[in-house]
Amino acid sequence: MPIKILDPQIVSRIAAGEVVERPASVVKELVENSLDAGSSQISVEVRGGGVSLIRVTDNGVGIPSGEVELVFQRYATSKIASLDDLESISSLGFRGEALPSIAAVAQVDIVTCATGESAGNYLSLKEGIAVNRGSQARSQGTTVTVRNLFRSVPARLKFLKSPATENSHIANVASQYALAFPEVKFTLSIDGRTVLRTPGSGQLIDSVIEVYGLEIARNILEVSRGDRGWEGEIATSSLSVAGMVGSPAISRSSRGYLSFFVNRRWISSRLLAWAVEEAYHGLLMTGKHPVAIINISLPAKELDVNIHPAKSEVKFQNERLVFGAVQKAVRRALIELAPAPKIEEVATTYTAPSAPSRTLWASVGAGHSPASSPPVASPTLVFSLPALRLLGQLSSSYMIAEGPDGLYLIDQHAAHERILFEKIKHQSSHQEVEVQGLLEPVTLEVNPKQDEVLKSQYENLAEFGFSIEPFGDRTYLVRAVPVLLHKKDWAGVLRELCDSPSGGDKGDWVEKVAISIACHSAVRAGQVLTDDEMRELIRQLEQVAIPNTCPHGRPTMIHLNSGQLEREFGRT
Ligand code: ADP
Ligand code: MG
């Protein structure tokens, strides 16, 4: 094909793909515009996973009547004017790309009324071209309605996940901005149900209560001296760190509870996640992650926000300074405000398995399921276990056994996990799950993101022994749980499952549920077992299909055959 300049329509479609990846990106851009417009109230309404409808309404400064059409032109922005402005961006938007990009891949209607104007204006666009305009009564502010997202881009539409998954991404965006801007009243409604409503009190804790619920809010510590929202920040030269962090008692099995904002722009940052996790060093079980909401304020010129198409990453001029300040501020909150026992001190009685959730959340957003087979087990390792004779227990964590061919050191937790995992899968597929009714139904409160998953999955959990029914606003009644989880942390299992939405693949989901139940109900390392209990465990391990790895793929045992023993003792 000869080289030629692309048609403007193709150019805008390609460019739109960078900004608008999925419905949640549209919500993010529109909410950022509302925040830049100084709104104190922002409501987000979505239908059909955001594909049928996204509507964001605000009470911000509005768009002057003469400029309504201009905002849909690429690179039209009121936020920067010169190259110098790019060096110190204080608004969330600055490229003038969002509205034209959205209009290129959806049908858009805008109604806006600017400060000081007596009447509002509306404009409708199809495929980025204005098709209708006029004046319309409206109080100050802007409403943008986006319909039929990606209808003209079937490739994108195909790539979207189930409405439940898209809703959970949208709920996450709204939740993050509700945390970043506690002074703004946010509401989010999904298919006509209000799933998030913050009071706009300016107190971060009020947003935390609405987004994460009371359990987390009761166990959260302030990363600053004052007792107010983002005020009273800890300052290190030009930089300050503020926010809230969860006490180690409410650690989570995914990193989904880490929120970072830089000058209140929501970003993802490995650097900051690492800094926070460093601050928890020695306070969390292996595989557990903290709850943290951190805002870093620093002069805009010490930061490059223009490095990512969706503006969701930033580059700090001085990464070491930022890392150190965050780590210190969080550590101080944890140590000074809430002295907690160090994990080393309790490790002798209880050690959690390492990284139990890796396979649980690795599949979020990925198109395939990494959880369906043990990741590190190679086929040659799969073998059947001979009859073993128990010799004893080591460190209350390992069983020592002898077989016809040498010595076996078996990790009791990993082995039990494997046994339970296979049992749960068998029972659920044969509808033989043992169920334990609770004496009284227990209410389970979940965050908006978890709600989106649980809503679509609670009925499917019946085959594993959970009896769950919706009970109003983000609350569910739990009437029965699998026998295996009776008196165990079944609520933790449910939250863990909701934190890792399934891509819709049934096998993937079954695997996840079975892993989570097995992990939470297996005997722990550090638990003293009687000889009879150990013999029973070994007998059951002899029967399973894959005895040598736990469902996460870690080894359950170390085997030393007689040849290896002889070599170790130098007898050959
Ligand atoms: P950017 O935010 O990068 O400037 P956008 O395409 O998102 O680019 O928006 C273009 C312009 O439209 C903004 O600069 C702003 O002037 C105006 N605008 C968009 N949304 C709103 C809103 N909700 N309230 C007031 N003005 C808005
Ligand atoms: Mg914008």
What residues flank ligand 1, with Cβ below 6 Å? 29, 33-34, 37, 58, 60-63, 71, 76-79, 93-99, 142
Long-range contacts of 510-513 (CB under 8 A, 24+ apart): 510/425, 510/428, 510/429, 511/369, 511/371, 511/372, 511/425, 511/551, 512/360, 512/371, 513/424, 513/428, 513/461, 513/464
Cα(166) to ligand 1 centroid in Å equals: 24
Query: Which residue has the CA at smallest separation from atom 9 of ligand 1?
Result: 96
Atom of ligand 1 nearest to the CA of 76: 10
Atom of ligand 1 nearest to the CA of 61: 25
Q: Read off the pLDDT of residues 516-568 as tens digits, 9 standing for 90 and up.
A: 999 999 999 999 999 989 999 998 998 887 788 788 777 888 888 888 888 88
- 571 vs 125: which has the higher pLDDT: 125
Please tell me the predicted confidence (pLDDT) of residue 376. 30
Atom of ligand 1 nearest to the CA of 101: 6
Pocket test of ligand 1: the residue of 77, 95, 305 to mutate, having most ligand atoms within 8 Å of its CB, is: 77
Atom of ligand 1 nearest to the CA of 91: 2
Q: Which ligand is nearest to the CA of 77?
A: 1
Q: Which ligand is nearest to the CA of 71?
A: 1
Q: Read off the pLDDT of residues 143-159 as tens digits, 9 standing for 90 and up.
A: 999 999 999 888 888 88
Atom of ligand 1 nearest to the CA of 58: 23
Query: Which residue has the CA at smallest separation from atom 2 of ligand 1?
Result: 93
Please tell me the predicted confidence (pLDDT) of residue 258. 96
Q: Write down the pTM of the prediction.
A: 0.65
User: Does the pLDDT value for residue 351 go beyond 80?
Assistant: no
Q: How confident is the model at residue 367 (pLDDT cuts 50, 70, 90)?
A: very low
- Comparing 268-272, 304-308, 461-465, 473-477, the range with the smallest average pLDDT is 304-308
Q: Is 25 helix (H, G, I), strand (E, B) or coil?
A: helix
Instruction: State how far the Cα of 105 lies from the Cα of 153, in Å rounded to an integer.
Output: 7
Query: Which residue has the CA at smallest separation from atom 23 of ligand 1?
Result: 34
Instruction: State how far the Cα of 537 lies from the Cα of 523, in Å rounded to an integer.
Output: 10
Polymer length of the chain: 572
**Tokens at 429, concatenated:** 């597929």
Q: Read off the pLDDT of residues 307-317 as tens digits, 9 standing for 90 and up.
A: 887 888 899 99
Cα(99) to ligand 2 centroid in Å equals: 7
Cα(114) to ligand 1 centroid in Å equals: 12
Please tell me the predicted confidence (pLDDT) of residue 503. 60
Q: Is 392 helix (H, G, I), strand (E, B) or coil?
A: strand
Average pLDDT, stretch 484-507? 83
Q: What is the rounded radius of gyration, in angstroms, for the C-alpha atoms of the chain? A: 27
Cα(176) to ligand 2 centroid in Å equals: 17
Q: What is the overall mean pLDDT for the chain?
A: 84
Cα(97) to ligand 1 centroid in Å equals: 9
- Closest-CA residue to 501 (of 355, 369, 353): 369
